Amino acid sequence: MEQRSLPAGKCVSPQAGQVNGRATSEYEYNEEWPTRMPNSVRRYHSDVKHETGRAPADAQTFAQRDTISRRGKFPPQRGTPQAQSPAGRMRQRSGDTEDITTRRSNNARNGYTRLRVHWLVHVGLAMVIMAVGWIILSSVADWWQMTQDDWHYGRPRTYQTDYVVGHDDADANPSHFIALNLHRRIEVMECPGGDCAKAKIYIGPLLVGSNQDLAPVTLDFKDVTADHKLDMIVNVQNSRFVFINENGTFRPQRPGESIQL
């Protein structure tokens, strides 16, 4: 503080001393009052209402400036958190975003985002697969059966056998029988005693249905009338047609005629 010398022999009144002291304090107050901030500094005005005894949000008191100036004199400690710059905050946010993205990708890779499907969907898929499998298996089975029939019976379907039925035949010369499915018409040719010059042809039923021209025909011989003569049975798939052995030849079964298969 600047001290002023007074002329000797003069007394200063108390009022004059108070005036000088007030001027001195105002002078010191003017020196400590902050200067006007430059235009490049951005001021943020607070929306907080002024209250009695509280300074505005954008104004700093002398105690706050003193605390800030003291903090600026000492270097920050290692354990003390510091205010980050905008660039640092942006790097931290980008790091957090990358961390979240990595976690989401890891969760997706681990199967956490897998959708749950209703159990009826699985049942429907299983039924569709079973139906398709059944169709495929049926087609394969039909193809295999058709192939075996081609190997055994040829086309048209033909079956041959030898039997002694009492028509000018014997064990040494059995009669020869040929069963034929010709365009869905069943025909049986007999060569008595193996002599086809005496051949007899028996006309059987007409088959109805798809692919019936490929149905194989087979022959069995059995006494169904208990007269000690072998009768002829024509087999076409699940059907049987009986021809009765009578008077050296075969005739179709009459309606109502009793037989024992």
Give me the pLDDT at residue 53, please: 53
Does pTM top 0.75 for this prediction?
no
Is position 125 within any domain? no
Is position 106 within any domain? no
DSSP string for residues in 62-103 = HHHHHHHHHHHHSPPPTTS--PPPHHHHHHHHHHHHHHHHHH
Is position 147 within any domain? no
Is position 196 within any domain? yes
DSSP string for residues in 148-183 = HHHHHHTTTEEEEEEE--SSS--SSS-EEEEEEEET
| For range 70-76, the mean pLDDT | 53
Give the confidence band of 62 by pLDDT, cuts at 50, 70, 90.
Answer: very low
Is position 95 within any domain? no
Domain count, the chain: 1
Amino acid at 156: P
Is position 186 within any domain? yes
Q: Are 175 and 163 in contact (CB under 8 A)?
A: yes
Of all residues in the chain, what percent carry a pLDDT higher than 90? 51
| For range 182-196, the mean pLDDT | 96
Give me the pLDDT at residue 87, please: 55
Residues 137-162 pLDDT 10s: 999 999 999 999 999 999 999 999 99
Is position 146 within any domain? no
Residues 18-43 pLDDT 10s: 545 555 555 554 555 556 666 655 55
Is position 227 within any domain? yes
Domain housing 210: 157-252
Nearest Cα to Cα of residue 195 among 172, 168, 166, 221 = 168
